[in-house]
Structure 1
Amino acid sequence: MPDNAPERRPTRIIARTLVFGTSALLAAGLLVWSPATTTGWNQGAAEGTLWQLLNGARTNNGMAPLQQHGTLVGIARWRSSDMLDLNYFSHTIPGCGCLVYSYYDSNGLSYVWGGENIGWNSGLDDASSPVRVHENFMASAGHRANVLTAAFTHGAVGAAAADNRMFQGYVQNTRMYTELFLQAPGGGAPPPAPAPAPPPSGGGGGGGCGGGGG
């Protein structure tokens, strides 16, 4: 699981936090993700619920809602699927050892600032699962900062699911979520990276990061 220490590198500032809730491939700019390995799970409904909650939190705090970005949707879905398929939970992507912003760049996105929230849970009904993830994000300073960064202009939600599959040491029915954020050029200076927050107690998981773009 990701730790709570901030990471820094020349063109990116990363603040990583861990929050507990309940409980590829890029080639020539194209992403491929695996279909859900579940019966009856509705990817669109899960993503739609989390997207509405995300933008609802912004409007309730006096901010403009994010515009959905098709390229970010593809990356977010791939991220969630990749974590389930390869049995990891981290902002660092295996193989390349990179962060999601490398995929922003490789897919030709122009941006000033970006952010990523990741979270998963198991053992909930499918209607409650995205709601619980959102509640956990909003209870964590780092994740909440990504959701409520006024400078972000575009975003996306990607969800993936796997039933009766080993994940994080247990065979379980896992629902994985990725929220991606982007500030389009011309939106002003990027905000400071959010400070890491201690994890609340519980069982499931989440992680958030924010970073500068190129």
Structure 2
Amino acid sequence: MFRKYTALAAAILLASSMTTSLAECAVNQPCNSTCGDVCATYQCSVSTCNQICATCWDCNTTCSTICGIYPPADPTAVPQPTPTVQPTQKPSATQTPAPGDDYTTQSVSAQEQKMVNLLNQDRKNNGRTALTLDPELCRIARIKSADMRDNRYFAHESPTYGRVGQMLKHFGYRFSAAGENIAHHANVDKAQAAFMSSQGHRANILSTAWTKVGVGIVQDANGYIYATQIFAK
């Protein structure tokens, strides 16, 4: 089920329709834990997480942003952004453009190029080769970011395009493997740092399964960015 919140408070896709109360979250986790860990592990709603941050945790950024880095996909565990692997498949017909296509005419922005540079520097620092920037992947990633912002959700599964493999097929992109990282953060530097601090997102960034990457960034009404990284081979 999808729960929609304001643009600043990133919506989280919950596998369960029930969320844990503020009191239960506070009891289940010590105050030296991070808001994101609590919200992901105990299925707290964004509003509950915000209350916890205000009363217990010393957050360096908005709680909704931290929660956004940990979108729970399973009610019993904190998930990792496992790469989606799909067979190469050519679409049988030309797809009808979706509303998000309004963003497809943009060239790679300075923010997007910066995130690619940071991503490849992180790969270099860990003994990996740089990924090739693919403008078409950037276009698709930007559409995903705009879709999250405009439809007020934060999840790997889009109500418009499905998961990353389905979305790539929708736009006729040929690939043999694909993965995705998403963030709702204050800026590019903080988003990339948050990715590298999260085990699953870091694994995606450093994986040797990919040869290409696309980054799509849009801003919300509060100046925060939605960033999507799509990896492919």
TM tier, smaller: 0.5 to 0.7
Match of 2:189 among 123, 131, 139: 131
Query: Higher helix fraction: Structure 1 or Structure 2?
Result: 2
Kindly indicate whether residue 205 of structure 2 is the aligned counterpart of residue 157 of structure 1: no
Q: Does 1:90 align with 2:155?
A: yes
- Gaps of at least 5 residues in structure 1 are 8-13, 18-26, 36-42, 123-128, 164-171, 184-214
SS in 1 for 2:143: helix
Structure 1 49/102 Cα, relative in aligned 2: closer, same or farther at 3 Å? same
Question: What amino acid sits opposite 1:141 in the alignment?
Answer: Q
- Contact kept, 8 Å, 1:29 with 1:106, in 2: the verdict is no
Contact 1:79 1:178 in 2 (8 A): yes
In structure 2, the residue matched to 1:11 is none
Match of 1:64 among 122, 126, 129: 129
Moved more, 132-141 or 60-69: 60-69
Contact map agreement 1:76 1:157 (CA 8 A) in 2: yes
Structure showing greater radius of gyration is 2
Q: Distance in 2 between matches of 1:15 and 1:113?
A: 17
Aligned-residue CA RMSD in angstroms? 2.5
Of 103, 110, 113, the match for 2:177: 113
- In 2, Cα distance between equivalents of 1:5 and 1:85: 21
SS at match of 2:175: coil
CA 1:87–1:76: 2 relative to 1, 3 Å:
same
Alpha-carbon distance between aligned partners in 2 of 1:144 and 1:84, rounded to the nearest angstrom? 23
Aligned position for 2:35: none
8 Å contact kept, 2:175–2:232: yes
The separation in 1 between residues aligned to 2:135 and 2:97, in whole angstroms, is 12
What TM-score, normalized by structure 1, do the two folds share? Answer: 0.61
Q: How many residues align?
A: 146
C-alpha distance after superposition, 1:79-134 (max 9, x if no partner): 111111111111111145x2021121123333222110000124xxxxxx100000
**8 Å contact 2:215–2:228 — kept in the other structure?**
yes
Once the two structures are overlaid, the 10-residue window that deviates more, 53-62 or 129-138, is: 53-62
Number of the residue aligned with 2:89: none
The answer as to whether partners of 1:33 and 1:77 remain within 8 angstroms in 2 is no
In the alignment, what sits opposite 2:227?
177
CA contact (8 A) 1:29 1:108 kept: no
Q: Does the CA contact (< 8 Å) of 2:80 and 2:201 recur in 1?
A: no
Q: CA 1:33 to 1:106, structure 2 compared with 1: closer, same or farther past 3 Å?
A: closer
Using the aligned pairs only, state the percent identity: 31
Distance 2:171 2:160 in 1: 18
TM-score (norm 2): 0.56
Q: C-alpha separation between the residues in 1 aligned to 2:74 and 2:212?
A: 24
Cα distance in 1 for residues equivalent to 2:152 and 2:200: 24
Paired residue secondary structure (1:173): coil
SS at match of 2:224: strand
Please tell me the residue identity of whatever aligns with 1:54.
L
Q: Take 2:219 and 2:96, find their aligned partners in 1: how far apart are those partners? A: 24
Counterpart for residue 203 of structure 1:
none
Question: For the residues of structure 1 that align with 2:119 and 2:195, how far apart are their CA atoms?
Answer: 10
**More contact order relative to length (CA 8 Å, sep ≥ 6):** 1
